[in-house]
Every structure is written in C-alpha cells, then in structure tokens.
A and B are shown apart, each in its own frame.
Chain A
C-alpha cells in the first residue's frame, strides 16, 4: 500500500480522482425553482407540474397576510409570511394530482384557497 502511494503514477491517478470528484460537484445542477405567490384567497399559479424524482425548490411569497401551504402527500406544511420568501425543496416520489391548501385562516374565502401540484412520470 505504502509503495503504491509513493508511486508518481498513483499520485497522479489520485489527484485525477479528486479532481474528477470536484468536477462532478460543480456539474450538479441546482434544483429547479418554482415561484408561487399567495394572496387572499388564491395561489398563483393555480397548478404546477413536477416530475417524479426531480428535486424542485418551491419559492413561496405572500402579497398580503400570512398564509399556510399544506399538502399532506408531499409532506409539506409551512407558513408563508409576507415580506419573506419561504423555500421548500422536495423530490416527489409518487405521481398524482395533489390538492394544496392554505391552512392558516386568512378570511372569508379561506376555505376555498387551494391549488394543485401535479407530479408526472
């Protein structure tokens, strides 16, 4: 083992492995970002489409009051506070149409504030 590491060739190979590893990291793409805006009593857009297994970052903002963003099958339960961006990164593992609701009471139309997240193959 020692003699192997002392070999100039092996050092070169090792350096190459490290370098290739670094290059791989650089080559990893940042998750796709999807922007969703909430305001009483709707989300915009009303529907987004994701791919199964694809990592996506949802960037959530509110134009007025605090809203909720809840979709049990995708294990998302967060708040959208006005003045800041809430980021949620997910990698959906199942296909389907998932109803997403505001679960932070925001007024008379709260009960119908929802959108759909579609996950396709």
Chain B
C-alpha cells in the first residue's frame, strides 16, 4: 500500500518519564520511502534546518529552599534527577526547567542563596544546553528582577536541530498571564516560520483552563494559543501542577512534568488542593515513574501516519513507587 504522508505527523515526540520529569525523543517520522525523504528535504528547506533525531529532558518545580512536612528531603529528588539524567543511555542534548526553580523567600538574600544552590546542583548536569523559565515562586514577588540576575530573560526563543523552542513567562506579572507585550513579541517571533515548523513552547503554568480554582490556568492562554493556532506541530511543556498531565487541544499537545518536590492530588478526585503527604517508606512516591511512550512500533518504519500517531499512549508503570523502585527494576530508557 502506498504510504500516505500526513504533514501534521512529521515529528513524533515520545516522552518517557524517569520519575524526575520527562525525557522527550524527537523523531522525524518520514524516515522511510522516497516520499518521506522528499518531504523531509522540503520541510528542512522551508524551516531552515531539517529536524534530526535527538532527545531532551524536561525537569520542573525543584523548589530549592523548600523544606517542610510534605517533603522534608529538600533537594534530594532534584539531586537524584540530575544523577539519573547523567546516567541516561541516550544522552540528552538539552534540559528545560519549567519554573519554580526555587521556593520564594521574604528575604532577598536568602532567595538569592536558593538560586545559587539551584545553579550549583543543575551545573552537575552533563548536558550542553540548559534553559529555564521562571515560576511564580521565582519571579512573582519582585517581577522577576532577581531571576533575571541569575538566569537572564524570562522569555526568549532559540532553535535546536530544526525545532523552534519558545520560553514563555506567565508568572512575573504576579497574575497568571503572559501579557500583551509578550504576546506581540510571540507573534513576531513565529512570523518567519512555515506552518509545518515544529514548535516547542515551555512555560510554567498551563496555557489552558486545567483547574482555574486551583490557579491552574493562564488568563490569556487562549490568546497565546491563537497566535500558535496556524502551526501544525506545537508542543507545550509546563510544570506548576506537580503532577503529570497530557492534553491535546487543537494542533497543540500540552504536557505537564511531575515535580521534584511534593506532588498534588488529582483535582478530579474531589481532593482539596493540599500536597500529598510524605511517605517515609516511599519518599519519592508520586514524584515517581510514569512512562509515556509514543507508538514505538510505528517509528520510524512507517510513513503511513495520521494525527493519531502524534498522540501519546500513557501507561502507568506497574507498582509506581518512584525513583527507588525505578532503580531497583533496572529499567533503562
């Protein structure tokens, strides 16, 4: 049967949780056949650089400086995450931190110390490129002043192997919003790309109404997504909610990574918005393993793709119990 190539599916993002965030593999799916190769060539020409396989890691909500009953281990999960990333058999080229790098402090010097500690731990990552966006605990109290001193701009963009990455700040205006100025910038930023260009947005809060009464939303998220609506391959990575979540809305797939500090419960369970209590016997439970895989059996041999091929299947790792169990099982990614 002659393969049918669906442009929307030219990039597959397969995420694999390692209990510490998520590993994403970028795999062009046109690998087989003349048509696929030709499409890859054309896309590369249109987008400036053809997409080539690579992997990257998203880590989120490290909250350096937090130390309380829901997670008395402080930075331990973050430090373990760094070790796990460094041990990955498939070395990531990029790490994205999606906000709440630090827990805020009333004392600016103490907050600065927390940012220094974050940098000290993250500097152990054996990864060439590390990028950040702020969370409200980093930038909500001072409009991002201290954050900028340590990490630079709160919003920016860059290209990596044919993927256009956009860092969006939806926290430093204190309200859950991106704001008009940044939306205008975003519109200009993406203007040069063709509608088939792969775009990865990373931000802190969800850009859709996930749970507004828990402040899990961005008030002008719809306007942001309208700017991106013409693009056929948009992936949004975010944190903030301290739990995994996957949503496909229009052309965009939205993924939340787990946190590296306490977890929040499922809001649909009827629970209150309170951290899941610490379990001393399973200290990394709920920060733990949930593996997301793309439909591996269709990668990269088939170019008979449909929009469904971009969707991820989610399966809970048997006996989810966190990093420790992950290590015991010797699972390789």
Set B104, B174, B213: member contacting A101, Cβ < 8 A = B213
CB neighbours (8 Å) of A114 from chain B are 213, 273
Q: Which 4 A-B pairs have the closest CB atoms?
A: A105-B140, A99-B213, A105-B136, A72-B212
Q: Are the C-beta atoms of A107 and B104 separated by less than 8 Å? A: yes
The residue on B at minimum CB distance from A66 is: B174
Chain B nearest Cβ from A42, distance in angstroms: 14
CA distance A66 to B214 in the complex (A): 19
Distance of A110 from chain B, by nearest CB (Å): 7
Tell whether A9 is near chain B: CB-to-CB under 8 Å: no
Q: How far is the CB of B192 from chain A (nearest CB, A)?
A: 34
Report B261-285 CB contacts with A as 1/0, cut-off 8 Å: 0000000000001100000000000
21 A-B residue pairs with Cβ-Cβ distance under 8 Å, sorted by A, are: A66-B174, A68-B175, A70-B212, A70-B215, A71-B213, A72-B212, A101-B213, A101-B214, A103-B176, A104-B174, A104-B175, A105-B136, A105-B141, A105-B171, A106-B141, A107-B104, A108-B103, A108-B106, A110-B136, A111-B273, A112-B274
State whether the Cβ of A77 lies closer than 8 Å to any Cβ in chain B: yes
Q: Once the chains bind, are B175 and A110 in contact (CB under 8 Å)? A: no
Q: Known contacts A66-B174, A110-B136, A110-B140: does B106 contact A103 (CB below 8 Å)?
A: no
Closest residue on chain B to residue A100 by CB atoms: B213
The reply on B286 being an interface residue by CB < 8 A is no
Q: Once bound together, how far apart are the Cα atoms of A16 and B175, in whole Å?
A: 54
Cα distance A112–B214 in the bound complex, in angstroms: 8
A side interface size, CB within 8 A: 19
Is B75 positioned at the interface, with any CB of A under 8 Å from its CB? no
Which parts of A63-94 form the interface with B (CB within 8 Å)? 66, 68, 70-72, 77
B219 close to chain A: CB less than 8 A: yes
Is A103 in contact with B141, judged by CB distance below 8 angstroms? no
Give the A-binding residues of B (Cβ under 8 A).
Answer: 103-106, 136-137, 140-141, 171, 174-176, 209, 212-215, 219, 273-274
- Nearest to B135 among chain A residues (CB) is A105
Given A107-B104, A108-B103, 11 other A-B contacts at CB below 8 A? A72-B212, A77-B219, A99-B213, A101-B213, A103-B215, A104-B175, A105-B140, A106-B141, A107-B141, A108-B106, A112-B273
CA distance A103 to B175 in the complex (A): 6
Complex-state Cα separation, A114 to B274, whole angstroms = 12
User: Least Cβ distance of A43 to chain B in Å?
Assistant: 14
Residues from chain B with a CB closer than 8 A to the CB of A66 are 174
Contacts of A99 in B (CB 8 A): 213
Give the complex CA separation of A37 and B215 in angstroms.
20
Proximity bits, A36-67, B CB within 8 Å = 1, else 0? 00000000000000000000000000000010
Among B106, B140, B174, the one with the most A-chain Cβ atoms within 10 Å of its Cβ is B174
Specify the chain A residue showing the minimal Cβ separation from B172: A105
Q: Which of B105, B137, B140, B215 has the most C-beta atoms of chain A within 10 angstroms of its own C-beta?
A: B215
Q: Point out which of A72, A105, A107, A112 has the most chain B C-beta atoms below 10 A from its C-beta.
A: A105
Residue of chain B at shortest CB distance from A71: B213
Q: Which residues of A contact B209 (CB under 8 A)?
A: 72
